[in-house]
Structure 1
């Protein structure tokens, strides 16, 4: 294995992680809305979505996702619509969500981890990154499984701390705003961020 390739991959992944994109906006939205714990769960969901794309790429299915224009647009528009719906719902129900809630169970699709997985799977940039870009760093003459495992570890240790910091900063603003009126606006801003994530996914174009 060529360690220079892993170093280049790590630098590229860190650059992507530091650049505010759908994953960052999604994590910030949950940090503002429900605190740092929720943002961490959202970040872990994003990493789980990355793991699924790693598996698809290792099986050779990532290339199909990255080269099929139909699949690309289907993933993009379904993901964008899902996040726009979440954002609209958060804005519409801002006053009700800002009120103190009991221990009523939260549907799985509304939990930060599950939303993080779905958000990452719906991000066409992830399809391109793991399906087309990452294989360029793989040495076909060396065992593939250790390389994919190392790439996966690199993605986790570079991206998860960045998302955790973004989520922590967002959660601090939430802690400073305890009044119900501010909580309503916090819900609305969180919803606007989710809609922004959906809009950013919709704006992504497939490279030709």
Structure 2
């Protein structure tokens, strides 16, 4: 339930997947969902093997991760606002030629996603046994969280794909894209201002 509530709150994945699917179509969105799932899995596994504790104990590492993620989200917001070819139907073939590129962007987006990092560093440890949490516990929680997140992300992509015909007119598409870009930028700024520490 905790994972579901967190995933339903506005975040980088939600805005990015919606913008990508509205602009480049359902296949691009589904490829990005797969990349997002892999990115979340990598972060979860890293946390399970002890890197979460290392990040939580090191203000320098946390600050580097936080700034890298926040600046990357701002870059995605700017790219979306400009109507970059990745989220533009006319330019899909020239900038990103295969769904593998959408997949890799999904992976990168989540490796540098402050919300995902904060979840695995500050939230997941609270659900581990106080006496001797094992690698199995961490991997199990990772599997559950990735499954729930992927379900939510698939729903977002499918909904955006259904809305695409309604927003296919140039004026509507541009306004929608710019609205999503503003939302993504606001999320990036909010994370930079509020996640000064991995302790929540």
Please indicate the TM-score interval, normalised by the length of the shorter structure.
0.7 to 0.9
Please tell me whether residue 123 in structure 1 is matched to residue 119 in structure 2: no
Map 1:53-132; keep pairs closer than 5 Å.
53-93=43-83, 98=88, 100-101=90-91, 103-104=93-94, 106=96, 111-132=101-122
Please tell me whether residue 17 in structure 1 is matched to residue 7 in structure 2: yes
Q: Report the number of matched residues.
A: 197
2:193 corresponds to: 203
SS in structure 1 at match of 2:174: helix
TM-score norm. by structure 2 comes to: 0.78
Q: Which has the larger radius of gyration?
A: 1
C-alpha change, 1:21 and 1:60, in structure 2 (3 Å) is same
C-alpha change, 1:196 and 1:137, in structure 2 (3 Å) is same
5+ residue gaps, structure 1? 1-10
Mean alpha-carbon deviation: is it higher for 134-143 or for 114-123?
134-143
Partners in 1 of 2:60 and 2:146 — Cα distance? 29
Mean alpha-carbon deviation: is it higher for 138-147 or for 79-88?
138-147
C-alpha change, 1:60 and 1:180, in structure 2 (3 Å) is same
TM-score norm. by structure 1 comes to: 0.76
Instruction: Find the partner of 1:144 among 134, 144, 151.
Output: 134
User: Over the residues paired in the alignment, what is the CA RMSD in angstroms?
Assistant: 3.1
Partners in 2 of 1:59 and 1:141 — Cα distance? 16
1:178 corresponds to: 168
5+ residue gaps, structure 2? none
Contact 1:18–1:162 at 8 Å: present in 2 too? yes
